[in-house]
Each structure stands twice: as C-alpha cells, then as structure tokens.
Chains A and B, each alone.
Chain A
Amino acid sequence: MNEFFNPEFGNKVITLTAALVLVLQIAGAGQRWIVTNIRVFGVQSFLLALIAGAIAVFNHAPHLFIAAILTLLVKAIAVPIFLERLVDRIGIHQEIEPVINAPVSVVICGGLTLVGYIVAESFYQPEQTSGPAALGHNMLAVAVSLFLIGFFMIINRRTALTQVLALLSLENGLFLATISLTYGMPLIVELGVFFDVLLAVLVLAILVYRIRETFESMDVSRMRRLQG
C-alpha cells in the first residue's frame, strides 16, 4: 500500500495521463466528425478529473477532490451531453471543414507542443523529485501546449460550434496548469470558473443556434457582411 501511494509512482501516473490528454487534444485537432470531437473532449475532461484526483491522493491535497468531482460532472458529463443534444437539434452531421487540412494541422500541433516545452523549459528543476516543482515542468508544458493548440483550433475552424469546443479544450489547459502548479485555486474561485464555463457553453449554444437560424449556416465567415 505504501509502495502504491509514494509520490514518485504518483508522478509517473500523472505524467502519463497528462501525455494522454495532450494526445487527445492533437487527435481532436485532426478529427473530422463533430460528434467524435465532442466525445474526445469528454474523455479528455475525464482524464483531467483523474489527474486532479491523483494529485489529491498522492500529494495530500484533499480540496482538489472537489475540483476533480466538479470537472467530472460538468465537463466530462454535462457539457458533452448538452453539446450532443445541440448537434442533434440543429441536425448537422456533415464533416468539419478546417481551413488547413487535417495532416498538416496535426503536424502544426506537434510544432506547437514543442513551443510549449520550450516555454516550460525554465521551470525544469531536476534536483526536486516530488511536489509541484517536479510536476511543474511537464504539466506546464502540457498545459501551454493545450492552450496553444486550442487557439490554433479556434483559428482553424469555420463553424461556431467547433470553435466553442476548441475554447473548452483551451480552458482544460488552464485548469491543468492551476491544479498542477498551485494545487488548485481557492475553492470559491474554482466554483466561479466552473459556473463560468457552464454559463459560457449555454450562452454560446444559444448564440450558435441563433447564427444557424439567421444565416442558415454556422459558418462564421458569413458574418462579415453586415445586415441592416
């Protein structure tokens, strides 16, 4: 049991899960089907909740459990279900049409990950083997990469709904940075952020629906033409 709960093993598990989160982000960027994209986001959030739970167990930070459970409920379950319903209601089943084609955007995402690592390089402290300093470097790198890839996805996509998804995965990156570097923000801030995300999804969903109603398409590039 002691063997299992030692922080070094914990760090390994957390780093591995973070790597999976990153892989899912890149997979999401190269994905064509919107429903698969929503599910990828759901799984990614689930892994993020796992990371939060693992940090809470291995590094004795019990208040992170609340963040983990909230992530699980809001981002891994509620938001994907809500978005899938929206997709059903609008009745879009066509492929996402990115500005840059899928193979090239996957390679670009790889490049963005490199940028993330270079940024996090200065946080590298090999002498510390446990605690936030040891985790910090990897986690910050993954978090910055998630952030950059999220931005890239927003630029790369034309329809409003997929941009909402990109924004959400970008927010996942922020969450990862906060839980791994500082063991989470104060609970009230955390709650505020979650409420914010939920509200943002609701508002954006209504917005998406309205864009669809008005322009009969979700392509935001059509919104350049002002209508009197």
Chain B
Amino acid sequence: MTQGFLKILVQLILLLAVSPLLSGFIKKLKARLQTRRGPGLVQPYRDLYKLLRKGMVLPDTASWLFHATPYFVLITAATAGLMVPMLSAEAPLGLFGGVLAVVYLLGLGRFLTALAGLDTGSSFGGLGSSREMTISALAEPAMMLAIFTVAIGANSTSLSEIARAAIGQQWRFLAPSQMLAFVALFLVLIAETGRIPVDNPATHLELTMIHEAMILEYSGPYLAFIEWGAAVKQMLLMTLLINCFWPFGLETSWSFASVLASLGYLLLKLMALSCVVVLVETTNAKMRLFRVPEMLAVAFTLGALALVSTFLF
C-alpha cells in the first residue's frame, strides 16, 4: 500500500516538475532553429511562479464554473498522467482504468475549459470554445483508431499491458500497422497540444487562436494552473506516443536503479520527439482553420488503415 503510494508520488512529482521544463526546451529549441536566442530553459518555471503570486481579475459575469475549471484542468491532466507508463512499464494507477480513461479524462478537462470559455460571455471565449470542440471532435476518432491498433497488438486496453507487449517485440515498430498508427497519433498530438499547423501556442493576438482564445479571461493563479495543466497534458501525450511505440530502455520493475535508467531514457526520447515537433513547427506555416479538418481526415484514414492492417498484414 505504502509502495503504491510512493510510486504515485514519484510519478506525480516527475509530471509536475518536468513538464514546464519540456515546454521550455521546445520553446528554446524553436528559437535556436529560427536563429533567435530565445528565453532560458527555466522561463516556464519563472512564469508559473510569477502568475501564482499575482492577483486575479475576474469577469463580473463569471459563475462557479469559471472558478472550478483551472483546478479540474490540472487535476484531470495529472490523474491521466498517473495512468501512463513513464518510469516503468507498470503505471502507478494501472488498475484504475485503461487508455480510454486517459483519453476521456483529458476530454473532461477540455470540455470544462470550453464551458469556462463560454461562461464569461466574451465573444473571444465562445469563438475559441467552438473551434476547440470542432477540432477535438475530429481528432478523437483518429486517436481512438490509432490507440485501438496498439491495444489489439497487446490484447488489452491497459497501458501497462501495451507497454509490456511493446517491450516484448523490439522489431514490432517495423510493422506497417504500427507505423501508420504512429503517424496518425503524431498528427493527433500536434492537434491536441495546439502546435503550429493547427494552432499557434505563442500568440494571444491572432484572430485564428484556438486554445488561447478560450482562456483569454484567466489571470493570476488560475492561469498558472491552466498553463501547468496544458504542459502536463503535452508531456503525457508525448510519453504515451514514446512508450507505446518505442519502448527502448523502459524497465518493467520499480527498483531504484531501473527507475533511474528509465528516467534517463525517457528524457532522451522526449528530447528527440521534441526535436521532431519543433522541426514540424518551424517548417510549416499555420494552416487556415478550414484546412485543419483535412489534416485530421488524413490522420483518421491512417488510423483506420492501421486498424485494418493489424488484421490483414
């Protein structure tokens, strides 16, 4: 019992502590690639610290939903993060639910953010909410198809089982179904974390913004919670992608040495995946909003092909 608690604690600390660093790393890398110096690696921590100390400006029209949403966003993201194998193939909250629970906990966070965007009655909030829901409604089927592909390979929707099956077969990622599912999930990752072809995370000033438009009314500690939750969600999705498809170096036990080794590999792989994300961000222009469904249709088709080819290849 105490051991289980310890595992949860370790992974929770890792999630909360490392996710801002990952955002900082992506920002820094992107700046370097565009020959800017960019903010330091610890800038996201400074931002969070600053926001947590500040006072809040609340809209007059805001109801309790507006107050509850930031907590929900952070809590759902962190809870979902505990179900993803990160330091060991066995996730700390493995018994609680499989990959469906992860997807829909994130969905709950998004749903509440969209409601909070509508709640304030500002036109930007409603606009952001409607866009976010459109995109997530299109991204979700693609994500589910890709995840089912992986789950069929492991005969289980539990993420621990999936990671263990992936460790068992090192050459599995060469199979066409895995490759297609990986690409589909990568496209979904870009859409879900609001990266550049879909949304620009670095701006509050564009009429095309999606995520930023929803949270425009937030300030102070609430904004800090929401941004932290977004960082945790980004790290969670990237870890999910890494450990389902490229589980090299992931250990199956929870001993001190193996956890340290897994942590090292995880950080290396997160950095590698960040490089790919940054490359995509830098080489692509932001898509027009009406082009986003096209990208997600491609992701959906790839996911469907992946699922079909697990039965046929």
Contact of B304 with A by CB under 8 A: yes
Q: Could you tell me the distance in whole angstroms from the C-beta of B292 to the nearest C-beta in chain A?
A: 10
Contact of B122 with A by CB under 8 A: no
What residue in chain B is nearest A22 (Cβ atoms)? B305
Please indicate the chain B residues that have their CB under 8 angstroms from the CB of A113 in the complex: 305, 308
Which of A15, A19, A22, A30 is the one whose CB lies under 8 Å from B297? A30
Q: Could you tell me the distance in whole angstroms from the C-beta of B169 to the nearest C-beta in chain A?
A: 12
Contact of B25 with A by CB under 8 A: no
What residue in chain A is nearest B302 (Cβ atoms)? A23
What residue in chain A is nearest B178 (Cβ atoms)? A16
What residue in chain B is nearest A27 (Cβ atoms)? B298
Which of A16, A27, A106, A114 is the one whose CB lies under 8 Å from B179? A16
| Contact yes or no, A12 B302, CB < 8 A | no
| Contact yes or no, B293 A103, CB < 8 A | yes
Most chain A CB atoms below 10 A, which of B176, B294, B308: B176
| Contact yes or no, B297 A102, CB < 8 A | yes
| Contact yes or no, B301 A109, CB < 8 A | yes
| Contact yes or no, A106 B174, CB < 8 A | no
Chain B, interface SS category: helix
Please indicate the chain B residues that have their CB under 8 angstroms from the CB of A109 in the complex: 301
Contacts A12-B175, A16-B174, A16-B176; is A141 near B312 (CB within 8 Å)? yes
CA distance A141 to B301 in the complex (A): 16
Which of A103, A110, A138 is the one whose CB lies under 8 Å from B305? A110
Contact of A187 with B by CB under 8 A: no
| Contact yes or no, A106 B298, CB < 8 A | yes
Contact of B222 with A by CB under 8 A: no
Contact of A198 with B by CB under 8 A: no
Please indicate the chain A residues that have their CB under 8 angstroms from the CB of B300 in the complex: 107, 110
What residue in chain B is nearest A102 (Cβ atoms)? B294
Contact of B96 with A by CB under 8 A: no
Which of A12, A27, A124, A137 is the one whose CB lies under 8 Å from B174? A12
What residue in chain A is nearest B309 (Cβ atoms)? A19
CA distance A124 to B309 in the complex (A): 13
Contact of B180 with A by CB under 8 A: yes
Contact of B64 with A by CB under 8 A: no
What residue in chain A is nearest B297 (Cβ atoms)? A103
Please indicate the chain B residues that have their CB under 8 angstroms from the CB of A27 in the complex: 298
Which of B176, B296, B301 is the one whose CB lies under 8 Å from A19? B176
CA distance A113 to B312 in the complex (A): 12
Please indicate the chain A residues that have their CB under 8 angstroms from the CB of B293 in the complex: 103
CA distance A119 to B18 in the complex (A): 50
What residue in chain B is nearest A18 (Cβ atoms)? B176
| Contact yes or no, B176 A15, CB < 8 A | yes
Please indicate the chain A residues that have their CB under 8 angstroms from the CB of B313 in the complex: 15, 19, 138
Contact of A46 with B by CB under 8 A: no
| Contact yes or no, A23 B180, CB < 8 A | yes
What residue in chain A is nearest B296 (Cβ atoms)? A103
Please indicate the chain B residues that have their CB under 8 angstroms from the CB of A137 in the complex: 312
| Contact yes or no, A12 B171, CB < 8 A | yes
| Contact yes or no, B308 A117, CB < 8 A | yes
| Contact yes or no, A106 B297, CB < 8 A | yes
Q: Could you tell me the distance in whole angstroms from the C-beta of A26 to the nearest C-beta in chain B?
A: 6
Contact of A13 with B by CB under 8 A: yes
Please indicate the chain B residues that have their CB under 8 angstroms from the CB of A22 in the complex: 305
Q: Could you tell me the distance in whole angstroms from the C-beta of A223 to the nearest C-beta in chain B?
A: 30
| Contact yes or no, B312 A13, CB < 8 A | no
Please indicate the chain B residues that have their CB under 8 angstroms from the CB of A114 in the complex: 308
| Contact yes or no, A103 B302, CB < 8 A | no
Q: Could you tell me the distance in whole angstroms from the C-beta of A33 to the nearest C-beta in chain B?
A: 13
What residue in chain B is nearest A12 (Cβ atoms)? B174
Which of B179, B183, B297, B309 is the one whose CB lies under 8 Å from A107? B297
Please indicate the chain B residues that have their CB under 8 angstroms from the CB of A13 in the complex: 174
Q: From residue 109 to 143 of chain A, which have CB atoms closer than 8 A to chain B?
A: 109-110, 113-114, 117, 121, 124, 137-138, 141
What residue in chain A is nearest B291 (Cβ atoms)? A102
Q: Could you tell me the distance in whole angstroms from the C-beta of B215 to the nearest C-beta in chain A?
A: 28
Which B residues have a C-beta under 8 Å from some C-beta of A?
171, 174-176, 179-180, 183, 293-294, 296-298, 300-302, 304-305, 308-309, 312-313
The 6 listed contacts between A and B (C-beta, < 8 Å) are A103-B293, A103-B294, A103-B296, A104-B297, A110-B300, A138-B313
